[in-house]
Amino acid sequence: MHRYAFCIGAILWIPLFLAFQGCGKKTLPLPEVRQVLPEISIEKADITGEGIVISWKLPETGEIRSPAGKKHKNETGRFENYPYCFVVEKAEISRGGTLCMECPDLPWEQSTCLHPAFPGPAAFDGRTMKWKDGNVRRGHAYRYRVVVYDVGTQRPLVYSSPFDLVVSEPPVSIEKGNAKSDEKGIFLTWFLPANGSVQKNAGEIRFAVERRSEASQWKRVDAGDLGNTSYLDTEVKPGMTYEYRVTPYLKKGAVTVWGTPFVLPPIAAEDRMLPPPPKTVWVVPGKEGLEIHWLEVTKPVKGYHVYRKYEDGTILRLTQQPVEHPPFIDKGVKKNVVYFYAVSSLSPYPPYREGLVSSWVEIRNVFSGKEER
């Protein structure tokens, strides 16, 4: 009897024993839920006759890891689900006509919260937002910063660094200009005032050249940092009429001060034009020599000529007959010698006239050819 009672008691204690075995047993900790804060900074500011335009890029939406370890990422392509909006804060930091960058800020003025799906007063281009402040005065200084807000909680997450600028005088206006067309393209010239009204910084003035045809938008065509008062546009279609405008500007770090645009009268391109040169040329060392590559022009051409230039300025055309397609191999090179290469294109109709050459590309040959002595 006692033996059976003992067995029954032991059986009853087994679940309790197993239960207490689990007490105090360590398990792997669950990962914390963590949100990566977005990064924000004002990239540039443009000062125009209408005010100041502040630009910044949309930050990445960040990643959230759930306790189960599953990774979720917000979709940036559909901006109606974008989790952030942006408030631009502004304070004037002028004191009695002088700048006081270290003085305490005046109370911040705030814009509405700008969302890329509904930018409202802001403009949205790709992943860049632009906000214009029309309430500024010439000669005054202002401080801006962008605050990222969480759309769901309506709480600020992060502030950009302060961006300070002075609304300085615009560059001098263009006085006159003209355009003429020939077989090379459309050649533009413009002139600043020749009298004492030219600013002291006239040598720092740069120009933006824009072009449009009928029923098209203005498109910038220069490569940037144009200091000359002339420009040759070779990327025009034969017989088509174009309109140009040239805008002077001053670049001061991340701030650009724009002047008054000057619009030239419409002008038609020639019916038969010389083709433009390739925009991009590069050289690659090969087993037989230096391989000259280029991006072919989009217009019909008869072919291409390839040129080699030496350090003393001597130029040699390497092609007796035009080459139909890249690459061209220069087998007559020597080791440890610096060469320059350029490519031109020929018109597709007789007498197959040659256009302008491309920009020169420099390379030191260290792989093939005889040693230079």
CA-CA distance, 129 to 85, in Å (whole number)? 11
Per-residue pLDDT of the chain (373 residues; tens, 9 = 90+): 555 544 445 455 555 444 445 555 566 665 555 567 889 999 999 999 999 999 999 987 744 333 444 343 433 345 778 899 999 999 998 755 555 656 665 688 999 999 888 878 888 777 899 999 999 999 999 999 999 999 999 999 999 999 999 999 999 999 999 999 998 899 999 999 876 455 556 668 999 999 999 878 999 999 888 999 999 998 898 899 999 999 999 998 999 999 999 999 999 999 888 888 998 999 999 888 999 999 999 888 999 999 999 999 999 999 999 999 999 999 999 999 999 999 999 999 888 999 999 999 999 998 766 665 5
- DSSP reduced 3-state for 81: helix
User: Beta strand pairing status for 42-48 and 255-258?
Assistant: parallel
Tell me whether residue 156 is in a domain: yes
DSSP single-letter state for residue 89: E
Tell me whether residue 121 is in a domain: yes
Token pair listed for 270: 């020639």
Tell me whether residue 302 is in a domain: yes
Same domain flag for 231 and 336: no
Question: Measuring CA to CA, which residue among 280, 277, 282 is closest to residue 339?
Answer: 282
Q: Could you say which of 268, 297, 323 is where a domain stops?
A: 268
Tell me whether residue 24 is in a domain: no
Same domain flag for 294 and 334: yes
Tell me whether residue 200 is in a domain: yes
**Tally of domains in the chain:** 3
Contacts of 188 (CB under 8 A, 6+ apart): 177, 178, 179, 209, 230, 231, 232, 233, 244, 246, 264
pTM greater than 0.85 (yes/no): no
Same domain flag for 260 and 208: yes
Burial class (CB in 10 A: 0-12, 13-18, 19+), 193: middle
DSSP single-letter state for residue 204: G
Same domain flag for 48 and 94: yes
DSSP single-letter state for residue 79: G
**Which residue range(s) make up the domain with 306?**
281-371
Tell me whether residue 5 is in a domain: no
Report the CATH number at residue 264.
2.60.40.10
Measure the N-to-C terminal CA separation of the chain; round to a whole number of Å.
115
Same domain flag for 254 and 159: no
